[in-house]
Amino acid sequence: MENCKVQKAEGKLGVLVVGLGAVTTTFMTGVLMARKGLAKPVGAVTQYDKIRVGRGAEKKYLKYDEIVSMASLNDIEFGAWDVYPANAYEAAMNAEVLKEKDIEPVKDELVKIVPMKAAFDKNYAKRLDGNNVKDAKDRWDMVEQLREDIRNFKKEHNCARIVVLWAASTEVYVPINEAVHYKLSDLEAAMKADDKENIAPSMCYAYAALSEGAPFIMGAPNTTVDIPAMWEMAENTKLPIAGKDFKTGQTLVKSGFAPIIGTRKLGLNGWFSTNILGNRDGLVLDEPANFRTKEVSKLSTLESILVPEDQPDLYTDYYHKVRINYYPPRNDDKEGWDNIDIFGWMGYPMQIKINFLCRDSILAAPLCLDLVLLSDLAARAGRWGTQRFLSLFLKSPQHDYTQGEVPVNHLFQQYVMLKNAIREMGGYEADEEID
């Protein structure tokens, strides 16, 4: 079926990333290496997945770019902001995620990616001490400077479209304040009044991106675009937003394993999750105020899959605890432990133990690529506001909590949502039938 709903992905796609740390440099290096045929984008759904379209004799399995027009890896132009001035090559070497042999072939390209000065407030990330920061008189000035950065990058690199991705550290938790965060006019007034308590730097990036016609993706658990004021702005600008928090290690396991317990109608007494991490993200999360933001994100997954109200015999009063421990010797090699206390027939107890030794940035990099390409696709398809079909990639998917909407955290339900969105944008019917 001929696609008639999506504008073609023509010209360069500018990808501006907030934060030039381990995740971002791994993402950039992998894309650049893949363009040269020197690496495979393993883990990227957009590059490998196939979706069934049609039925009966018309049934076929197609890759995403065979259903809808997708931006090519060759058309991506990278830029970044960061509190540290090191270029992408230096930052990749410092991150110590990738081996030198996997960075050197694209050194020339990485050296050219020099981070712009970041819009930064140390009160939101006290463990970071970089000096490559903007001199902004207030939050509104931050916005204006970021807008200028986006305009300049788009012009200098001859980009047809821009996507802005947050891959920086988790900010201090910002509780939702109805007087500031519910209406766009109130949010703008707070920015102009330099309300540092309610306006996080990440909100300035999101506002600037949407103002300049760029979709915005929140890859950390920050409140940022998970507020009605930003939903209003996304509607006004007719642009997609996505968030929040990359679903990488432990939560990926939880969103896939909890459905096993729920599907088999086994009971749950408790789920204890702890992990160790030694990179910059781990350092920032070692600050209790920053960890609170992450904790809210990680705790929400289980409670929306195993719901007490739906199965009171099975899921009433279970204990759920999440811990993150900063451990520098591991650097980017994250290790997660899950102890799950379940019960079965006649209430007899059982245990499940999971030990996931993963690489944080190796899991996050393909998510960055998928979220960027799919957000660009959504924009070209005329979709705006929260993109719930991207929930597959996110720990704490956005939802309209003001209307009692519940997030979808069930991994396999998320996958159906993703496939159906691609089908619909390609002119095919939605389909819940198991492939």
Per-residue pLDDT of the chain (435 residues; tens, 9 = 90+): 344 579 999 999 999 999 999 999 999 999 999 999 999 999 999 999 999 998 888 899 999 999 999 999 999 999 999 999 999 999 999 999 999 999 999 999 999 999 999 999 999 998 888 999 999 999 999 999 999 999 999 999 999 999 999 999 899 999 999 999 999 999 999 999 999 999 999 999 999 999 999 999 999 999 999 999 999 999 999 999 999 999 988 889 999 999 999 999 999 999 999 988 887 777 776 677 666 665 665 567 888 899 999 999 999 999 999 888 888 998 888 899 999 999 999 999 999 999 999 999 999 999 999 999 999 999 999 999 999 999 999 999 999 999 989 889 999 999 999 999 999 999 999 987 766
Q: What is the pLDDT of residue 289?
A: 66
**CATH fit for domain 12-246+362-425, picks 3.30.110.60, 3.30.413.10, 3.40.190.290, 3.40.50.720:** 3.40.50.720
Q: What is the pLDDT of residue 299?
A: 63
| Amino acid at the residue 204 | C
CA distance 274 to 368: 24
| Tokens read off for 93 | 């070497």
DSSP type of residue 284: H
Confidence (pTM)? 0.92
CA distance 305 to 31: 34
Q: What is the pLDDT of residue 189?
A: 98
| Amino acid at the residue 50 | K
CA distance 99 to 362: 12
| Amino acid at the residue 193 | A
Angle between helices 184-192 and 139-156 (to 10 degrees): 100
Q: What is the pLDDT of residue 120?
A: 96
| Amino acid at the residue 320 | H
DSSP type of residue 428: P
Render 25-56 in DSSP notation, one character per residue: HHHHHHHHHHHTTSS--TT-HHHH-EEEES-G
* Lookup result for tokens 């004021």: 229
**CATH fit for domain 250-359, picks 3.10.129.10, 3.30.450.20, 3.30.360.10, 3.50.50.60:** 3.30.360.10
Are the CB atoms for 201 and 121 separated by under 8 Å?
yes
Q: HSE of 132 in the Cβ direction (CA atoms, 13 Å)?
A: 16
Cis, peptide link before residue 192, omega less than 30° from 0: no
Q: What is the pLDDT of residue 273?
A: 93
Angle between helices 228-237 and 201-211 (to 10 degrees): 20
Judged by phi (left if over 0) then psi (alpha if -120 to 50, else beta), residue 294 lies in alpha
CA-only gyration radius of the chain, Å: 21
Q: What is the pLDDT of residue 294?
A: 59
In the chain, domain spans: 12-246+362-425, 250-359
Q: What is the pLDDT of residue 3?
A: 43
